[in-house]
């Protein structure tokens, strides 16, 4: 008996040893586990809300840096840290790192070696958005289209699987999702005329389990929405991590623009581009889809986070999916079946469509969009190709019922072009020139999901591109491209605190509690889509330099 108990005790010790176990059950509780940050989006629902409140509207004024860790990397840092048993796991495009959460001391660093030609074929920043952890392994993706599993304890590579030859323009920047025991990844590269897909992988071995194309091919439902062989270069990238409802056993994953942007070169709805797909994580089977922008001309990728919550709809608590779409409308869907509950304008200036048809869910296109379809002539349209909100993830606070999002406000002069597809070359199909507003180009907004109305907004001349975090302390965290990490009052939008981090912020802040102290972490480092394509001269004075900052309230 004693021997048996000892064996059981040892087994329990083994399971509990730091960095070793990461069970499915822990991931399911991720949103409520304040001692760890187990999921991308701080929970399968991607709410990025923490019930912690040591840092509140008063104490946030005493927030000070605890440590800073250099990534030794001059690229944009868009990765979300994960925290497990006192260890932070972070990624850059060319390394994965484990760092002691209290001291900032590096525990291990494993480099990603790339073929020399890899980086120049990536559209919008040489970046990575983070890892996923499960059963003692950390999963990440690479720019040359590999998925890698590392030992969480040592950083040693356990397996590596290639999704596809990267040379025609395929790449990975996405943080994987582990749902129902499957590692799920989505490909990037719609601006290179790829045919997009989402993959499932075996976490234990890296074996490829399934592939779901985001562009319907011959024989697929929706194939008729692509004329001729246009599906072959139909775009539909899937570069942001999906959400997961474990009760419905459904993953919700967004898809990008059709290739090329010129809609007249592939007339039809172009399923399943600019859509959300409801997928069975075990098989990749599409349960339902909802398309936001059929035959999209403007690069209104619908990849951004599909946030899950229970909110009142018609007075009844309802399981919804929320998306602040790049096309300027805030969508609330019934996540059991994809039915539309609401779609209202949240972008400051939206001219391409008058609204969204309540019954069909299709946009009611404005004259300017009809004109460009009829004539292929230059039009001015708002928002521009970066959208009313880009990939920067929003937060949903179930206590205030508001979504907090970094929104954008500028337009573009848009001219469709006829482009020949060439493997490995860009396949834009449009010339664009930005049209800037007089004042601020961005607003951190508190948005009412069902109406799209702005409760408050915090403007910024240079638009913000960071993720947003909200907490039960009534605080909303965001970061500026000019380097300030900022805290706002969740009820009024008043700025409560800021700290200059030394480089532009495009990372995704997270928070957790260890030994009685609440910490906040964010990756900083400039170099993403806005700094590459905006020509904003104000960023010339913002130095590159990736690093990880951790803050706490000084006692």
Q: Which of the residues are catalytic? A: 299
Contact 172, 163 (CB under 8 A): yes
Q: Give, as ranges, the residues between 345 and 384 that touch Ca ion (CB under 5 A).
A: none
| Residue 210 beta carbon to Ca ion: minimum distance, rounded to whole angstroms | 24
Q: Does 296 bind Ca ion (CB under 5 A)?
A: no
| Residue 336 beta carbon to Ca ion: minimum distance, rounded to whole angstroms | 29
Q: Does 545 bind Ca ion (CB under 5 A)?
A: no
Tell me the CA end-to-end span of the chain in Å, nearest whole number.
Answer: 49
Tell me the number of residues near Ca ion by CB under 5 A: 5
Q: Does 301 bind Ca ion (CB under 5 A)?
A: yes
- From 139-147, 253-261, 420-428, 536-544, span contacting Ca ion (CB under 5 A): 253-261
| Residue 481 beta carbon to Ca ion: minimum distance, rounded to whole angstroms | 20
Rank residues 190 and 304 by Cβ distance to Ca ion and give the closer one: 190
- Cα angle vertex 31, ends 27, 35, to 5°? 85
- From 11-19, 50-58, 301-309, 397-405, span contacting Ca ion (CB under 5 A): 301-309
Contact 382, 363 (CB under 8 A): no
Judge if the upstream peptide bond of residue 272 is cis by omega within 30 degrees of 0.
yes
C-alpha to C-alpha distance for 179 and 134, rounded to whole angstroms: 10
Rank residues 299 and 365 by Cβ distance to Ca ion and give the closer one: 299
Rank residues 122 and 402 by Cβ distance to Ca ion and give the closer one: 122
Task: List the structure tokens of 49.
Answer: 């809300």
Task: List the structure tokens of 503.
Answer: 């480089």
| Residue 89 beta carbon to Ca ion: minimum distance, rounded to whole angstroms | 28
Rank residues 389 and 455 by Cβ distance to Ca ion and give the closer one: 389
The three-state secondary structure class of 253 is: strand
Rank residues 90 and 372 by Cβ distance to Ca ion and give the closer one: 372
| Residue 326 beta carbon to Ca ion: minimum distance, rounded to whole angstroms | 9
Candidates 47, 188, 257, 392; binder of Ca ion (CB under 5 A) is 257
| Residue 301 beta carbon to Ca ion: minimum distance, rounded to whole angstroms | 4
Cα 326 to Cα 161, 387, 408, 541, 554, distances in angstroms: 32, 4, 9, 28, 39
Cα 43 to Cα 20, 179, 392, distances in angstroms: 20, 12, 17
Rank residues 20 and 232 by Cβ distance to Ca ion and give the closer one: 232
Candidates 256, 338, 449, 509; binder of Ca ion (CB under 5 A) is 256
Residues in the chain: 555
- From 15-23, 59-67, 300-308, 429-437, span contacting Ca ion (CB under 5 A): 300-308
Burial 17-36 (b: 16+ CB within 10 A, else e): eebbbbeeebbbebbebeeb
| Residue 299 beta carbon to Ca ion: minimum distance, rounded to whole angstroms | 5
C-alpha to C-alpha distance for 372 and 300, rounded to whole angstroms: 15
Rank residues 299 and 506 by Cβ distance to Ca ion and give the closer one: 299
Burial 232-262 (b: 16+ CB within 10 A, else e): ebbbbbbbbbbbbbeeeebbbbbbbbbbbbb
Cβ contacts of 522 within 8 Å, gap of 6 or more: 466, 477, 479, 485, 501, 505, 507, 508, 509, 510, 548, 549
Rank residues 168 and 256 by Cβ distance to Ca ion and give the closer one: 256
The three-state secondary structure class of 319 is: strand
Cα 1 to Cα 12, 288, 396, distances in angstroms: 16, 54, 51
- From 75-83, 106-114, 251-259, 265-273, span contacting Ca ion (CB under 5 A): 251-259
Contact 494, 472 (CB under 8 A): no
| Residue 402 beta carbon to Ca ion: minimum distance, rounded to whole angstroms | 28
Candidates 199, 299, 305, 484; binder of Ca ion (CB under 5 A) is 299
| Residue 82 beta carbon to Ca ion: minimum distance, rounded to whole angstroms | 27
Contact 545, 74 (CB under 8 A): yes
- From 84-92, 249-257, 321-329, 473-481, span contacting Ca ion (CB under 5 A): 249-257
Rank residues 93 and 326 by Cβ distance to Ca ion and give the closer one: 326
Kindly write out the interface string for residues 171-210 of this chain, putting x where it contacts Ca ion by CB under 5 A and - elsewhere. -------------------x--------------------
Closest CA to 325 of 294, 301, 352, 307: 301
Q: Give, as ranges, the residues between 18 and 57 that touch Ca ion (CB under 5 A).
A: none
- From 71-79, 255-263, 356-364, 529-537, span contacting Ca ion (CB under 5 A): 255-263
Residues contributing to the site for Ca ion (CB under 5 A) = 190, 256-257, 299, 301
């Amino acid at each position: 008996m004693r021997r048996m108990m000892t064996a059981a005790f040892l087994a329990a010790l083994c399971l509990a040893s730091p960095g070793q176990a990461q069970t499915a059950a822990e991931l399911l509780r991720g949103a409520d586990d304040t001692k760890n940050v187990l999921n991308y989006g701080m929970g399968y629902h991607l709410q990025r809300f923490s019930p912690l409140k040591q840092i509140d509207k008063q104490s946030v004024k005493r927030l000070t840096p605890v440590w800073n860790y250099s990534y030794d990397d001059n690229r944009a840092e868009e990765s979300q840290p994960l925290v497990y048993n006192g260890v932070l796991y972070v990624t850059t495009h060319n390394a994965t790192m484990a760092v002691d959460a209290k001291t900032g001391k590096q525990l291990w660093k494993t480099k990603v070696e790339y073929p020399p030609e890899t980086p120049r074929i990536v559209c919008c920043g040489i970046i990575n958005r983070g890892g996923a952890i499960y059963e003692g392994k950390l999963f990440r993706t690479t720019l040359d289209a590999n998925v890698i599993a590392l030992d969480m304890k040592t950083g040693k590579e356990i397996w590596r699987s290639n999704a596809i030859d990267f040379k025609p323009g395929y790449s990975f920047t996405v943080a994987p999702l582990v749902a129902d025991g499957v590692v799920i990844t989505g490909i990037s590269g719609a601006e290179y005329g790829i045919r997009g897909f989402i993959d499932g992988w075996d976490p234990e071995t890296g074996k490829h389990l399934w592939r779901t194309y985001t562009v319907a091919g011959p024989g697929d439902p929706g194939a008729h929405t692509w004329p001729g062989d246009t599906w072959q270069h139909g775009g539909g990238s899937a570069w942001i991590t999906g959400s997961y409802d474990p009760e419905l056993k459904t993953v919700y994953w967004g898809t990008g623009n059709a290739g090329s942007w010129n809609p007249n070169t592939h007339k039809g709805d172009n399923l399943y581009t600019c859509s959300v797909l409801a997928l069975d994580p075990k098989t990749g089977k599409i349960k339902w889809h909802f398309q936001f922008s059929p035959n999209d001309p403007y690069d209104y990728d619908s990849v951004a986070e599909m946030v899950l919550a229970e909110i009142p709809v018609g007075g009844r608590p309802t399981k919804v999916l929320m998306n602040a779409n790049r096309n300027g409308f805030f969508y609330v869907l019934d996540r059991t079946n994809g039915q539309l509950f609401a779609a209202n304008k949240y972008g400051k200036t939206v001219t391409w469509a008058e609204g969204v048809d309540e019954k069909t869910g299709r946009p009611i296109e404005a004259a300017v969009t009809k004109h460009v379809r009829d004539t292929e002539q230059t039009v001015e349209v708002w928002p521009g190709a970066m959208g009313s909100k880009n990939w920067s993830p929003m937060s949903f606070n179930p206590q205030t019922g508001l979504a907090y999002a970094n929104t954008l406000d500028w337009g573009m002069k848009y001219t469709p072009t006829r482009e020949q597809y060439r493997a490995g070359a860009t396949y834009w199909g449009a010339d664009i020139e930005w049209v800037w507003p007089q004042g601020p180009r961005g607003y951190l907004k508190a948005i009412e999901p069902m109406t799209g109305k702005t409760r408050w907004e915090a403007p910024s001349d240079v638009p913000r591109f960071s993720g947003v975090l909200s907490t039960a302390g009534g605080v909303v965290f965001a970061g500026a491209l000019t380097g300030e990490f900022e805290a706002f009052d969740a009820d009024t939008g008043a700025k409560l605190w800021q700290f200059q981090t030394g480089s532009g912020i495009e990372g995704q802040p997270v928070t957790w509690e260890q030994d009685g102290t609440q910490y906040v972490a964010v990756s900083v480092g400039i170099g993403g889509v806005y700094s590459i394509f905006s020509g904003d001269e104000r960023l010339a004075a913002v130095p590159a330099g990736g690093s990880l900052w951790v803050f706490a309230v000084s006692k």
